Amino acid sequence: MPTPPPNPHLPFGDQRTAPWYGKDILSVKQFSREDLEYIFAVAHEMHDMVNHVGTFDLLKGKILANLFYEPSTRTSSSFTAAMERLGGSVIPINEVKYSSVSKGESLPDTVRTLECYADVIVLRHPEVGSAAIAAKAARKPVINAGDGIGEHPTQALLDAFTIKEELGHLDGLTVTLLGDLKHGRTVHSLARLLSLYKVRLNYVAPDILRMPAELIDEIKAKKIEQAEYTTLDACLPQTDVLYVTRVQKERFSDEAVYESVKGAYVIDPQVMKAARERMIVMHPLPRVGEISPEFDDDPRAAYFRQMEYGLYVRMALLAMVLGKA
Ligand code: ASP
Ligand code: CP
């Protein structure tokens, strides 16, 4: 189909030569600092456009296949909203058991099928490396929306954007990652992404849920200061960003082990008395008890704002891989 002429009323042109056109987004390792600056700028434009016009036709006629093998509220619905706000449409496969996956269809065949109908595929899957397998099978761009305990790159991008919007910069910050650092794909991606900046990273986790040693080594090689703790009190007062995570129940084979660590940390107004006045608390969500709702009205509670930033970042990413930014 011929490409329609660019709309001069939009801040974005049709840029088939744009560097991200047709690219997969599989890991945060793909991004440089300059890429992040660019994504943040486009996400900013998206925010303004949504505020001013709500929905516009940048991706009119484009179709997203939203393929989720694992539960999701935010990632799935924000990609849908992002596509629809850009004038495109979505094939939702939120429950693969109603698709031919339940008849035994493989991931590569499922992806090959969907790319016959869609221009871009967003995939969440329980296995590490699944997004890369899908990308190998597909000619169209695949965006990793979480591959098991591996990565969740679009979450890390929206997390970094949140920090930038809320605190104005990333260099010089102390970021404390708390909770299930072993299984949490969001913290794996975020720690990697933050290593592009001059940050200090604190890891607070029960002994059995520590940040994987390979990841600590990878980040150490970038000369990033890191420290591990089992309790929060030693590092909370110096923290600029407290990134809280859920203990990932679905990754435990022994429920008794999950039960033994699930309530390890609870952030509430009392705990937060020891923190700075100017800092933020983030959480990729869903939360299941690790942040008390009593803290929600504190201006430092950024986790609901963080979800909204995700819409603008995902709009930016869709526009980029479809050659419109
Ligand atoms: N929603 C995030 C994820 O899918 C975090 C979580 O589920 O705890 O990784
Ligand atoms: N943050 C996140 O990925 O949320 P969902 O699991 O609801 O998509």
Residue 1 inside a domain? The answer is no
> Hey, is 146 helix, strand or coil?
strand
In angstroms, rounded to a whole number, what is the distance separating the alpha carbons of residues 123 and 80? Answer: 13
Does one domain contain both 200 and 283? yes
Answer whether residue 44 is part of any domain: yes
Q: What are the pLDDT tens digits along the chain (325 aa)?
A: 444 444 444 455 555 568 899 999 999 999 999 999 999 999 999 999 999 999 999 999 999 999 999 999 999 999 999 999 999 999 999 888 888 998 999 999 999 999 999 999 999 999 999 999 999 999 999 999 999 999 999 999 999 999 999 999 999 999 999 999 999 999 999 999 999 999 999 999 999 999 999 999 999 999 999 999 999 999 999 999 999 999 999 999 999 999 999 999 999 999 999 999 999 999 999 999 999 999 999 999 999 999 999 999 999 999 999 999 9
Q: Which of 158, 185, 306 to mutate to test the pocket of ligand 1 (most atoms within 8 A of CB)?
A: 185
- Each residue's pLDDT tens digit, 20-33: 999 999 999 999 99
69-to-48, 61, 164 alpha-carbon distances in Å: 33, 26, 31
Q: Check residue 43 and give its pLDDT.
A: 98
Q: Which atom of ligand 2 is nearest to the CA of 145?
A: 3
For residue 176 and ligand 2, the question of a CB distance below 6 A is answered with no
Does this model's pTM top 0.85? My answer is yes
Structure tokens belonging to residue 19: 């560097």
Atom of ligand 2 nearest to the CA of 70: 6
Q: Could you tell me if residue 22 is inside a domain?
A: no
Q: What is the pLDDT of residue 7?
A: 46
Same domain, 201 and 285: yes
Per DSSP, which regions of 233-310 are E strands?
241-244, 280-282
Residue bearing the CA closest to ligand 2, atom 3:
75
Q: Report if residue 301 sits inside a domain.
A: yes
Domain at 50, CATH number: 3.40.50.1370
Domain contains 7: no
Q: Are residues 139 and 214 in the same domain?
A: no
What DSSP string describes 38-65?
HHHHHHHHHHHHHHHHS---TTTT-EEE
Q: How far is the CA of 171 from the centre of ligand 2 (A)?
A: 27
Are residues 157 and 297 located together in one domain of the fold?
yes
Strand 174-178 relative to strand 89-93: parallel, antiparallel, unpaired?
A: unpaired
Query: What digits encode the pLDDT tens for the residues 233-258?
Result: 999 999 999 999 999 999 999 999 99
Residue 148 belongs to domain spanning: 28-152+311-321
pLDDT at 16: 59
Number of domains in the chain: 2
- For residue 269, whether the previous peptide bond is cis, meaning omega lies within 30 degrees of 0, is no
The DSSP secondary-structure symbol of 25 reads B
SS3 124: strand
Residue 261 lies in a domain: yes
Ligand 1 centre distance from Cα of residue 66 (Å): 17
User: Which residues are paired to 290 by β-bridges?
Assistant: none
Whether ligand 2 lies within 6 angstroms of the CB of 250 is answered as no
Answer for the pair 205, 140: CB distance below 8 angstroms, yes or no.
Answer: no
pLDDT score recorded for residue 313: 98
- Residues 145 and 269 placed together within one structural domain of the fold: no
75 CA distance to ligand 2 middle (Å):
5
**pLDDT value for 149:** 97
For residues 129 and 192, membership in a common domain is answered with: no
Query: What ligand 2 atom has the least distance to the C-alpha of 77?
Result: 8
